[in-house]
Amino acid sequence: MKIHSLSKVIAFPLVVITGFIILYTFSGYRSEHSIWIFVPVLLLVTIYIFHGVIDHWYLERNPIPIDAEMRAWFEKYTPYYNNLEPNEKVLFENRLSLYVNGREFKSVGTNELKDVPYDIQCIIASQVIKMTRGMSDYLLGDVDRIYLYKHPFPSPAYQFLHTVETHIEDGIILLSSEHALPGIVNPNQHYNIAMHAYAEAFIRIHPDKGYPNVSHHDWKDLEAVLHITREKLLKTIGFESCDVLIPHIVAFFDFPEAYRSKFNYEFNAFQKIFNLD
Query: Running DSSP on this structure, what letter comes out for residue 214?
Result: -
Same domain, 78 and 56: no
Contact 70, 122 (CB under 8 A): yes
Same domain, 56 and 68: no
Same domain, 15 and 149: no
Question: The whole model's pTM is what?
Answer: 0.82
* Domain-embedded: residue 212: yes
Query: What is the C-alpha to C-alpha distance for residues 45 and 40, in angstroms, rounded to an integer?
Result: 9
* Domain-embedded: residue 1: no
Same domain, 92 and 221: yes
Same domain, 101 and 22: no
Ramachandran assignment for 48, one of left (phi > 0), alpha (psi -120 to 50 degrees), beta (any other): alpha
pLDDT at 33: 56
Residue that terminates a domain, selected from 25, 40, 60: 60
Same domain, 142 and 79: yes
Cα 139–chain centre separation: 7
Q: Give the residue numbers spanning the domain of 210.
A: 63-273
Same domain, 225 and 243: yes
DSSP string, 64-127: PPPPHHHHHHHHHH-HHHHTS-HHHHHHHHHHHHHHHHHSEEEEE-SS-EEEPPHHHHHHHHHH
Burial state string for 228-237 with b = 16 or more CB within 10 A and e = fewer than 16:
bebeebbebb
pLDDT at 267: 97
Same domain, 93 and 175: yes
Query: What is the C-alpha to C-alpha distance for residues 49 and 129, in angstroms, rounded to an integer?
Result: 26
Contact 171, 145 (CB under 8 A): yes
Same domain, 132 and 224: yes
pLDDT at 4: 60
The one-digit pLDDT tens for each residue of the chain (277 residues) are 455 665 566 666 766 666 666 666 666 555 555 666 666 667 667 766 655 666 666 666 667 777 889 999 999 999 999 999 999 999 999 999 989 988 999 999 878 899 999 999 999 999 999 999 999 888 998 999 999 999 999 999 999 999 999 999 999 999 999 999 999 999 999 999 999 999 999 999 999 999 999 999 989 999 999 999 999 999 999 999 999 999 999 999 999 999 999 999 999 999 999 999 7
Number of domains in the chain: 2
Same domain, 246 and 135: yes
Same domain, 84 and 124: yes
Contact 70, 44 (CB under 8 A): no
- Tell me the residue ranges of DSSP E strands in the chain: 104-108, 113-115, 145-149, 164-167, 172-176
Residue that terminates a domain, selected from 42, 60, 78: 60
Query: What is the C-alpha to C-alpha distance for residues 268 and 277, in angstroms, rounded to an integer?
Result: 8
pLDDT at 23: 65
Q: How far is CA 235 from CA 159, 164, 189, 219, in A?
A: 15, 11, 14, 15
Query: What is the C-alpha to C-alpha distance for residues 152 and 129, in angstroms, rounded to an integer?
Result: 25
Same domain, 80 and 105: yes
pLDDT at 74: 93
Query: What is the C-alpha to C-alpha distance for residues 28 and 88, in angstroms, rounded to an integer?
Result: 61
Residue type, 105: F
